[in-house]
């Protein structure tokens, strides 16, 4: 079939000796997770230059948060890193509570820590499972997704949803852990241990896996710091920085856990760091469940936390309290804060500005994988097209977080 006439000049003008081919990979591509376009300049199959184009999932998170009340921002935060939603909820809640200068009770902090770590494990299982599936290790992918299912069942038992949890509130959490949580967590751990052990045997010294992952996508230490990388990407390059250790929040300073490090900053190190982090999260969870205190999960402050329904329906004060909180929102005093937690991808920060009304004035998310994507162009230069898949997979770009 003849090509369109209007293309004739363009195609004839191209010099056959010019070997650099410009081609675009994405935004819809079967091997990439998320809508990302790579504008590639190729010399055969080798990447000479790469411009990463993001923004296909931009939904105006920051603008929409300004339109509702503080509590109405929580459903938006779920949809940031949707592989580990509890962590986003917790981060935003901590930022607002910092502005309010309130402290959530002990049990509330423990419960938030527990759900954060469960979310971290689900995020890592998703990332590693998908990355393994892409290089051909389908068994590993399905094993990890099986373990993830049990954890999603747990999250559903606590929050009511697998992914869009909307679980935290300013001053506490919406639902406490159910009575059978400890037992179900133990059952999930049995499966998780089996899965991790099998996947380790299948991949860690697997010739094909090592050839695909090792030495690819290297980012040296100084560049990693300069690009603002944090989390597993930074730790794979050998920099020991974890927000849970550097600026402890919730109850992380009470638990004993290690921060796995890599050496070279290649994809194999990133895989390894995430893999070992699952085991460390499991360690934190065991310690947290063992020392979980009794008590309320939310602060007892009527200006911040909604009254229980019995009070709302049976007393005028309860009704008024409920009405004010829903219609006007929590009155957060004017001010600003930058509060960071350790998300599954790195430092997840919220820079929140309040003007004293019940609505946020500015909510800015510091998305950890955005920085990883900024560094991706440099990581890919000199590698080949299949390396895009593995490197992009190991950055664990979650579209909701990168593009917001």
Partner 1 sequence: MLIERINQRFGAVITSSGAAHGQDFIVVARDAALELLRALAAEPEFEFNSLSDLTAVDWPERKPRFEVVYNLNSLTRNHRIRVKLPIPGDDAWAHSAVSVWKAADWLERECFDMFGIEFRGHPDLRRILLYDAFEGHPLRKDYPYQKRQPIVPEIDPIVNPRPMSR
Residues binding partner 1 (CB under 8 A): 4, 6-7, 10-11, 22, 39, 41, 49, 51, 54-55, 58, 60, 62-64, 66-67, 98-99, 101, 223, 225-228, 230, 239, 241, 246-247, 335-338, 340, 347, 349, 351, 353, 361-362, 364, 366, 370-371, 373-375, 377, 403-404
User: Which lies closer to partner 1 via its Cβ, residue 377 or residue 386?
Assistant: 377
Q: For every residue of 68-115, which 3-state class applies, written as one string?
A: CCCHHHHHHHHCCCCCCHHHHHHHHHHHHHHHHCCCCCHHHHHHHHHH
Q: Do 191 and 162 touch, CB atoms closer than 8 A?
A: no
Name the DSSP class of 258: -
Instruction: In angstroms, give the least distance from the CB of 251 to partner 1.
Output: 18
Name the DSSP class of 360: E
Apex CA 243: angle with CA 241 and CA 246, to 5°? 70
Instruction: In angstroms, give the least distance from the CB of 248 to partner 1.
Output: 11
User: Which lies closer to partner 1 via its Cβ, residue 32 or residue 237?
Assistant: 237
User: Which lies closer to partner 1 via its Cβ, residue 41 or residue 283?
Assistant: 41
User: Which lies closer to partner 1 via its Cβ, residue 215 or residue 377?
Assistant: 377
Instruction: In angstroms, give the least distance from the CB of 105 to partner 1.
Output: 20
Instruction: In angstroms, give the least distance from the CB of 364 to partner 1.
Output: 5
Instruction: In angstroms, give the least distance from the CB of 268 to partner 1.
Output: 23
User: Which lies closer to partner 1 via its Cβ, residue 12 or residue 310?
Assistant: 12
Instruction: In angstroms, give the least distance from the CB of 78 to partner 1.
Output: 19
In sequence order, which residues have a C-beta less than 8 Å from that of residue 125 and are 6 or more positions away?
144, 145, 147, 148, 151, 278
DSSP 3-state of 346: coil
403: part of which helix (H) or strand (E)? helix 399-403
User: Which lies closer to partner 1 via its Cβ, residue 181 or residue 361?
Assistant: 361
Instruction: In angstroms, give the least distance from the CB of 43 to partner 1.
Output: 14
Q: Quick one: how far is CA 185 from the chain centroid? A: 21
User: Which lies closer to partner 1 via its Cβ, residue 51 or residue 156?
Assistant: 51
State the Cα–Cα distance between residues 380 and 387, nearest whole angstrom: 7
Cα first-last separation, the chain: 42
Based on C-alpha coordinates, what's the Rg of the chain? 23
State the Cα–Cα distance between residues 68 and 76, nearest whole angstrom: 11
């Amino acid at each position: 079939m003849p090509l369109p006439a209007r293309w004739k000049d363009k195609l004839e003008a191209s010099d056959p000796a010019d070997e650099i081919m410009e081609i675009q990979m994405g935004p819809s591509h079967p091997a990439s997770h998320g809508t990302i376009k790579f504008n590639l300049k190729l010399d055969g199959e080798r990447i000479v230059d790469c411009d990463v184009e993001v923004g296909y999932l931009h939904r105006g998170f920051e603008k929409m948060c300004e339109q509702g009340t503080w509590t109405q921002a929580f459903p938006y935060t779920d949809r940031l890193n949707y592989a580990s939603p509890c962590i986003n909820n917790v981060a935003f809640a901590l930022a607002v509570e910092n502005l309010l200068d309130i402290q959530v009770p002990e049990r509330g902090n423990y419960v938030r820590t527990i759900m954060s770590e469960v979310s971290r494990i689900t995020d890592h299982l998703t990332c590693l499972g998908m990355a393994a599936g892409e290089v051909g290790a389908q068994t590993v992918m399905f094993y990890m997704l099986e373990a993830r299912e049990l954890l999603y069942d747990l999250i559903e038992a606590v929050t009511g949803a697998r992914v869009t949890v909307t679980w935290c509130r300013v001053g506490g959490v919406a639902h406490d852990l159910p009575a059978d949580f400890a037992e179900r967590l133990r059952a999930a751990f049995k499966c998780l241990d089996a899965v991790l052990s099998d996947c380790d045997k299948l991949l860690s010294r697997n010739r094909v896996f090592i050839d695909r992952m090792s030495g690819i996508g290297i980012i040296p230490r100084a560049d990693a710091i300069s690009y603002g990388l944090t989390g597993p990407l930074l730790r794979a390059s050998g920099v020991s920085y974890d927000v849970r250790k550097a600026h402890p929040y919730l109850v992380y300073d009470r638990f004993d856990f290690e921060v796995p490090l890599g050496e070279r900053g290649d994809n194999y190190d990133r895989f390894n760091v995430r893999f070992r982090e699952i085991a460390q999260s499991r360690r934190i969870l065991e310690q947290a469940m063992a020392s979980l205190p009794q008590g309320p999960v939310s602060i007892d402050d009527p200006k911040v936390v909604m009254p229980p329904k019995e009070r709302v329906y049976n007393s005028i004060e309860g009704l008024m309290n409920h009405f004010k909180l829903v219609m006007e929102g929590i009155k957060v005093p004017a001010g600003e804060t930058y509060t960071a937690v350790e998300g599954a991808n790195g430092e997840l920060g919220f820079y929140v500005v309040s003007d004293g009304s019940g609505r946020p004035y500015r909510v800015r998310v510091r998305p950890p994988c955005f920085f990883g994507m900024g560094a991706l162009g440099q990581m890919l230069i000199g590698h080949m097209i299949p390396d895009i898949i593995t490197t992009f997979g190991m950055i664990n770009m979650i579209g909701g977080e990168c593009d917001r």
